């Protein structure tokens, strides 16, 4: 299944989460999806993303999956890396907000620390996603910019003191 479709499913599942445990479970589903997208981009994505994508693929240690396993196992392609990373960043932001809400509302110490661990993973993944989006923006900006024929030649503005 294509990355943006899986992300949309994750956003819907998070929105439909009825309990604190459901929210934590969806947070780990989102983290597994971030890892899967990172792995895919590290192998098949644009060259400038591969290092950062490898780092994304290694973030977070989630609990053992039940019989259904992670939704991320269904990932088959990342057709639009920029679109997928943008949507993934939005999902991770929503996960972080939901987890903060659970952590603040719970009196159960175990659940609180589960939330903190998941918040840390989502935050680190968000940082990687933003870094990859910046790299894509730089690459796309370089492609969109016409070549500068005056570069390296003397001409107007050369020798100015600013």
**Residue 95 in contact with residue 62, Cβ under 8 Å?**
no
Q: What is the mean pLDDT of residues 40-52?
A: 91
**Residue 41 in contact with residue 50, Cβ under 8 Å?**
yes
Phi-psi group of 132: left, alpha or beta (phi > 0 → left; psi -120 to 50 → alpha; rest → beta): alpha
The model's confidence at residue 68, banded by pLDDT at 50, 70 and 90, is: confident
Residue 85 in tokens = 């990373």
Distance CA 29, CA 65 (A): 10
- Between CA 115 and CA 63, with CA 74 as vertex, the angle to 5 degrees is 30
Mean pLDDT of the chain: 87
Distance CA 113, CA 36 (A): 24
> Considering the entire predicted model, what is its pTM?
0.83
Residue 132 in tokens = 């990859």
Q: Please tell me whether residue 157 adopts helix, strand or coil conformation.
A: coil
The answer to whether residue 154 scores a pLDDT higher than 60 is no
């Amino acid at each position: 299944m294509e990355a943006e479709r899986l992300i949309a499913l994750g956003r819907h599942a998070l929105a439909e989460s009825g309990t604190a445990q459901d929210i934590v479970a969806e947070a780990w589903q989102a983290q597994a999806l971030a890892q899967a997208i990172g792995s895919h981009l590290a192998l098949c994505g644009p060259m400038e993303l591969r290092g950062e994508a490898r780092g994304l693929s290694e973030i977070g240690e989630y609990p053992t999956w039940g019989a259904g396993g992670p939704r991320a196992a269904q990932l088959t392609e990342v057709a639009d890396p920029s679109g997928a990373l943008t949507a993934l960043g939005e999902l991770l932001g929503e996960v972080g907000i939901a987890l903060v809400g659970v952590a603040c509302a719970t009196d159960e110490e175990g659940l609180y620390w589960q939330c903190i661990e998941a918040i840390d993973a989502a935050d680190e993944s968000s940082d990687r996603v933003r870094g990859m989006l910046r790299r894509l923006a730089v690459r796309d900006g370089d492609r969109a910019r016409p070549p500068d024929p005056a570069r390296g030649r003397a001409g107007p503005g050369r020798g100015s003191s600013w």
